[in-house]
Structure 1
Amino acid sequence: MKSIAIQEIKDIIANITDENDPIFVELAEDSRKGVQSLLKKWQREHQIREEKKQRFIHMSQYEIAARKEGFEWIAGIDEVGRGPLAGPVVSAAVILRPDQYIEGLDDSKKMSGKNRNKLYEQIKEEAVAIGIGVIYSDEIDQINIFEATKKSMLQAIKQLSQEPDLLLIDALHLNTPYTEQSIVKGDANSISIAAASIIAKVTRDRMMAEYDKQYPGYGFAQHMGYGTKAHLAAIDAFGACPIHRKSFEPIKSMK
């Protein structure tokens, strides 16, 4: 292939999926630096893809085991927003297809905003069903954050267009008519819970970005309502706004 231009080889390599491909083996004999550079880049990217695939397989173990037991519609449940001083707690329930592969799926907290948004769109497009539950700050103040979290999860389950037969829940038990399995650090150990964590996180982040426009000066689009130094300084300067949780310190003491 020494007569083929580097740009053409770049296009050829893009379609290779296996290092043992005869074309790849032949290109390995090409002494041109440009070709060798392309091959090394392909190998690096291939390794990353393989690591992501193995990670996905590892995180699928709960779902694989459940399907062997006869469960078909497995819903992962997760929440975001238990700790912030402002804004709602948001939960998501997600049922993935048995054959669905989502490259790079992981705990939403470990991902960049760009990757979260990318996977959010993929999950929305490909999942069997998605449900979202939202409990706002005034109700959080009335029933406490723990009860609000459970209530948002129950809302999310009710919003599913496909009724589940198994719930995989991140570190909580819920009183539902379905079989439940609580998984510690579920968003890092179950693909269904990880998918739910992404849906919940992106949904809440977008809500907080809208609140930032409604209540400028607090920086909600940056810290998402968490008690950062900048947020606490804004509360000192402007006082609490309607989406602040009045039962949370230091806002509780300000009353």
Structure 2
Amino acid sequence: MTPTSSQAAIIDQVIKEFPSGNDVVRVLHGISMGIDYGKMTMLVGPSGCGKTTVLSILSGTLSATSGTVTVMNERLDRLRTDDLVRFRRRKIGFIFQQYNLIPTLSVAENAAIPLIADGVAWEDALNQSGRVLTHLGLGPHLAKFPRQLSGGQQQRVAIARALAHNPALVVCDEPTAALDAASGQAVMALLDEAADDPKRAVLVVTHDDRIFSFADRIIRMEDGRVIDDGLSSSPPQKV
């Protein structure tokens, strides 16, 4: 598969195997998919079907056994380690089920971490993260610490951290799993806004069927294979 101008990423015939004693276990069986700019794509399926493995390979934190992964026209397997780390830091934003906020840093400092890691001056990084946090409704809380926020507010800080460096691809692993229904809907509304950008793609791995309505496209997996790659206008089976 060759990426088109509308696609942020392409996974092409990817196989992933893990060692298991004297044998190997194949968790991905030659899967292929494209992730489009300007859309929220959801990857759904039962536990153990390979969703998080796909996300990890797509974001460069795990390498494929075979097949190719192209993100923003870069073949990840052709990047040296230092270049891959730099590429991920600048081009990809990460949001997880666990917020992974540093408890001793303020809200603004937590959201500024990707900028500071990329060499942006401290004051400039805080100003930029503050603008993103304010846009996400956290302007009054910039100087607070994570423990002073609700779960939904902490996830919004995590979203701000993922968006502060204006990445072209945002990958989310179960972003609403630790939230109540109302907080989950609010978080997804923010991600939906982030996805409504022709220069950004958002991929959400989820079990949460309450948020399927936010998807522009839903890809269903089972046993390490893509079994359906349709649009959200065709209601998926609940998982």
TM-score when normalising by structure 2: 0.25
Pick the structure with more helix per residue: 1
Pick the structure with more strand per residue: 2
Larger-Rg structure: 1
Bigger relative CO (Cα 8 Å, ≥ 6 apart):
2
